[in-house]
Amino acid sequence: MPADKTEGGGVTRLSFIKASAGVAAGVAAVSVPAAAALGMEETGVPTAPSSPTPPEPVTAYVRDAARGEVTVVSGMSETTYRDRALVKRLLAAAPQGSIEEER
Amino acid sequence: MSSHREAPEISKDPVADNTDVYAFVSPDRPDTVTLISNFVPLQDPPGGPNFFEFGDDVRYSIYIDNDGDGVPEISYVFNFETRLQNPNTFLYNTGPITSLGSHNWNKRQFYTVTRVEGDDTTKYGTVTNAHQHAPKLRTRVLGRGLACPPCNIGPRSTPNYPALGSAAVHNLPGGRKVFAGQRREGFYVDLGAIFDLGDLRPFQHLHLIPSADALGVDATKALNVHTLALQIPISELTANHSVPKDPLGKHAVIGVWSAASRRKVRILDQHSTATLQSGPRVQVSRLGNPLFNEVIVPLGAKDRWNALYPVDDKQFVKYVEHPGLAELLPVLYPGVFPHLAALNKPRADLVAILLTGIPQGIVPGFQIHTGKAPADQLRLNVAIRPTNSDPSRYGLLGGDAAGFPNGRRVFDDIVAIELRALAGLTYAMVDKSYTPDAAAGQLSQFAPSQTDTVPGPDRYQPTFPYLGSPLDGFDTPAS
């Protein structure tokens, strides 16, 4: 069975992120904001987590903001994309005003 | 062990593994309290060339709850930084280290200690959705760039270790002192016996699987540990900034515990040797009363206990009320604990000792009560003067109100005290109709003849930080 398929033939997180990444990259290529293209809100809405952290969370981190590079880690895979819209959105969602430890 | 490698996850993370916490009115400065928290367990002194150290990526905290709500109003936070002078040698040192500024010392650690104050100082750097829930906390850096001493390598590398240790005791503003670095392990225990189905060598002819009685083995006598130690004026710790004189007074008792936390996200990258991390802190280890997580909390709940705060301890009350070891003792020592075997009521004595503090009226003139909220904390009555003449290693059970469970001193015989309590000796405090088994008051890992040699005279020192100089790797073979 392929790693990104469930037993029931459904879509796993891995296949979902692959598909999502493809959409996001395509959108970026024609300079349309990803969020707008997908009909999503421009900014996230803070909310209390409704469930525990999953065993293997899909994780995205901004690798190089100036170049618009974001790395997505999922399952046993890691892919780095150039997706300025996603990077911009992630940076906008990054918490502000957090407590800095004295070092 | 008190809390050495006591839970599955933290046993794989030694630099964050909180092993022992001590809190006592300083015997030589009774207007202060000494707080000690140890990490990095079971250090074999020869363990080089990368000798033991604190984690730069770990935050260490010592917490104070001074109003009995289970939530800390004060914390002292330690953050470390390792500096490498010469990356082109494999050596920790390239010649004798004769001072903390020695050029021969290649790999050093420095630290910042910060005082945090507010309604709940566990929230310092741990809050998610912080813009919504940011707490009001006040922080003050008490010291920055403070030097740790080196590890004790041997006579060629660290020829005068006591001088290095003394130099690493830093005076801070306000009459405070601080130390962070390697010390000799103060906790004494017969590890090999206790984890061999609860064997007590001096009494093992009575064990379910018997053998001839023998002397106890001090399994930690040749080990070192890493110590955080603070000496703080009492007035800085109490709720009303007083120096209580009445042990029964409202503000006389403070709760103490410590913890280690890591950043929520860590990314490993083969192209970077730096620790790449992000996110708020997540607690990975904590410790209040010795042996609580080790002996009371069952294996399946130990990791969760380490991640929670004392204010969440209500869910662990059932394990204190019905401790597994108390049920095992009559099985492991057939016929020795008939009264304990018949005792099936919740252990209100252990709840008082470990979770709420002993209220007044139980021991005349004594209390360490902080309220009904169950929280695993060391409770220290700062109005009780230190016992400087012939203190009892058995603390309160030995008639010495300045010892455990009134805080904890470095030499208190924690294993004996808690074994005796678990065996029912303290249940008579709350139920006068209960007669403890005769053996309960005798339980110890060491024979009476060993009290002069265990823990031994070099284990401690009479002044801050009270734990003795670490053993050196040259003279102390690896076990």
* ipTM for this model: 0.82
Strand B253-267, strand B224-233: pairing: unpaired
Of the partner residues B125, B132, B267, the one whose CB lies closest to the CB of residue A46: B132
Q: Which residues of B touch A98 (CB under 8 A)?
A: 125, 127, 130, 280
**pLDDT value at A10 more than 70:** no
Which among B59, B80, B129, B172 is the top mutation candidate for probing chain A, defined by the most A β-carbons within 10 Å of its own β-carbon?
B129
A72 Cα to chain B: minimum distance (Å): 12
The amino acid that residue B400 corresponds to is D
Whether B77 sits inside 8 A of A103 (CB atoms) is no
A29 Cβ contact partners less than 8 Å away, ≥ 6 residues apart:
none
| A101 contacts B280? CB cut-off 8 A | no
pLDDT of residue A16: 36
User: Chain A partners of B110 at a C-beta cutoff of 8 Å?
Assistant: none
Minimum CA–CA partner of B78 in chain A:
A103
Asked if B144 lies within 8 A of A102 by C-beta distance, the reply is: yes
Cβ separation B131–A46 shorter than 8 A: yes
* CA nearest neighbour of B292 among B89, B71, B18, B48: B18
Residues from chain B that touch A47, judged by Cβ atoms under 8 A, are 129
Q: Specify the pLDDT at position A24.
A: 36
Gap from A11 CA to chain B (nearest CA, Å):
26
3-class state of residue A24 by DSSP: helix
pLDDT band at B129 (very low <50, low <70, confident <90, very high): confident
A50–B contact, CB cutoff 8 A: no
To the nearest whole Å, the CA of A86 is away from the closest chain B CA by 19
pTM equals: 0.91
Nearest to A103 among B112, B128, B130 (CB): B112
Query: For residue B303, is pLDDT > 90?
Result: yes
- Residue A61 near chain B (CB below 8 Å): yes
Q: Looking at CA atoms only, how far is residue B186 from chain A in angstroms? A: 29
pLDDT tens by residue, B406-420 = 999 999 999 999 999
> Could you tell me the pLDDT band of residue B130, with boundaries at 50, 70 and 90?
low
Helix (H, G, I), strand (E, B) or coil at B439: helix
Over its C-alpha atoms, chain A yields an Rg (Å, rounded) of 16
For residue A101, which residues of chain B lie inside 8 Å, CB to CB?
59, 77, 79, 114, 124-125
A97 contacts in chain B (CB < 8 Å): 130-131, 134
A7 and chain B in contact, CB less than 8 A: no
The pLDDT tens digits of the residues spanning B420-450 come to 999 999 999 999 999 999 999 999 999 999 9
Q: Does A103 touch chain B (CB under 8 A)?
A: yes
Span B353-411, pLDDT tens digits = 999 999 999 999 999 999 999 999 999 999 999 999 999 999 999 999 999 999 999 99
Contact criterion met (CB < 8 Å) for A97 and B130: yes
Q: Residues 66-105, chain B: which have Cβ within 8 Å of A?
A: 77, 79, 81
**Whole-number pLDDT of residue B131:** 63
Are the C-beta atoms of B55 and B16 separated by less than 8 Å?
A: yes
Sign of CA dihedral B117, B119, B124, B129: negative
CB nearest to B130's CB, from A48, A95, A101:
A95
> Which of B266, B267, B269, B278 should be substituted to probe chain A, the one whose Cβ sees the most A Cβ atoms within 10 Å?
B267
Residue range B205-259, pLDDT digits in tens: 999 999 999 999 999 999 999 999 999 999 999 999 999 999 999 999 999 999 9
- Say if the Cβ atoms of A101 and B267 lie within 8 Å: no
Q: Is any Cβ of chain B less than 8 angstroms from the Cβ of A1? A: no
B134 interface with A at CB cutoff 8 Å: yes
A48 lies in a domain?
Answer: no
Whether A76 has its CB under 8 Å from any CB of chain B: the answer is no
What was the pLDDT predicted at A26? 32
Name the minimum distance, in Å, from the CA of A14 to any CA of chain B: 19
> CB pairs below 8 Å between A and B: how many?
44
Asked, for residue A5, whether it belongs to a domain, the answer is no
Please indicate, yes or no, if residue A61 is contained in any of the structural domains.
yes
Q: CA distances (Å), B391 to each of B24, B220, B397, B412, B457, in order?
A: 13, 22, 12, 9, 14
SS3 helix, strand, coil % of chain B, rounded to 5?
25, 25, 50
B441 inside 8 A of chain A by CB: no
Angstroms from A99 CA to nearest CA on chain B? 5
**What's the pLDDT score for residue B7?**
87
| Cα–Cα distance for residue pair B105/B450, rounded to 1 Å | 40
> Which domain covers residue A23, as residue numbers?
13-41+57-93
The total number of structural domains that make up chain A:
1
Domain ranges of chain B: 10-450
| A52 near B CB under 8 A | no
Q: With pLDDT > 70 as the criterion, what percentage of chain A qualifies?
A: 54
pLDDT band at B478 (very low <50, low <70, confident <90, very high): low
Interchain CB distance below 8 Å, B278 and A46: no
By three-state DSSP, how is residue B396 classified? helix
**pLDDT tops 50 at residue A12:** no
Render A27-82 in DSSP notation, one character per residue.
Answer: HHHTT--HHHHTT--SS------SSPPPSS--EEEEEETTTTEEEEEETTEEEEEE
A46 to chain B: which residues are within 8 Å by CB?
129, 131-132
Q: What separation in angstroms does the CA of B209 have from each of B201, B331, B332?
A: 12, 11, 8
